[in-house]
Amino acid sequence: MDRLDRRLLVALQADSSASIADLAARIGLSPSACHRRMRALEEAGIIRSYGARIDPAKVGIGLNVLIDITLVSQSSDAMERFERAVGDFPDILECHLLSGTADYRLRTAARDMADYDRLHRECLARLPGVSAMHTSFIIRTVKAWTGYALD
């Protein structure tokens, strides 16, 4: 990857719906050269997919939640069972294996507290091997993730 690839990736992270012509103009390439670079980045697996960033409040999501999970055991079998179960629940938006006091951090979202209660009962409480669960509700996002800093 060179400087132009990085600039292209920064531009795509800012607005993946931009036209090839617009992206090319932003980074100083011809549209055909920009398109070739995009395809090469896709084929290399650097660009995995394209998507839209949705305003949660405008689709009825009022709670964003972080949950730190500690397992009873850190054996490979226990971790694999937990990770498989996490994959079965679409309400779990992200799952990260951590270092530190918790084993995993989950991110979920819910319409309101009643919806979170449903999510807790139908999803979180069914995760295998959990010894402790510490939940934090996000009050306000000060800085949202918009992409990796590549420049």
* pLDDT tens per residue, range 8-42: 999 999 999 999 999 999 999 999 999 999 999 99
Q: How far, in Å, CA of 6 to CA of 142, rounded?
A: 26
Contacts of 101 (CB under 8 A, 6+ apart): 68, 70
pLDDT, mean of residues 57-67: 97
What mean pLDDT is predicted for residues 106-110? 98
Q: Where are the domains of the chain?
A: 3-43, 56-138
Q: What is the pLDDT of residue 108?
A: 98
Q: In terms of DSSP H, where are the helices of 15-102?
A: 20-27, 31-43, 76-87
Q: Is 41 left (phi over 0), alpha (psi -120 to 50) or beta?
A: alpha
Distance CA 136, CA 67 (A): 6
Asked if 38 and 5 touch (Cβ cutoff 8 Å), the reply is no
- pLDDT score, position 119: 97
What number is the average pLDDT over the span 59-84? 97
| Per-residue pLDDT at 49 exceeds 90 | yes
pLDDT at residue 151, rounded to an integer: 75
In CATH, 3-43 is 1.20.120.1150: no
- Please, are residues 95 and 68 in contact by the beta-carbon 8 Å criterion? no
Six-digit token string for 130:
């959990």
**Rounded mean pLDDT, 61-75:** 97
pLDDT at residue 129 is higher than 90: yes
Q: What is the Cα–Cα distance from 92 to 86, expressed in whole angstroms?
A: 7
The yes-or-no verdict on residue 134 having pLDDT over 80 is yes
CATH architecture of 56-138: 2-Layer Sandwich (3.30)
Task: Give the residue ranges of DSSP H helices in the chain.
Answer: 3-14, 20-27, 31-43, 76-87, 113-122
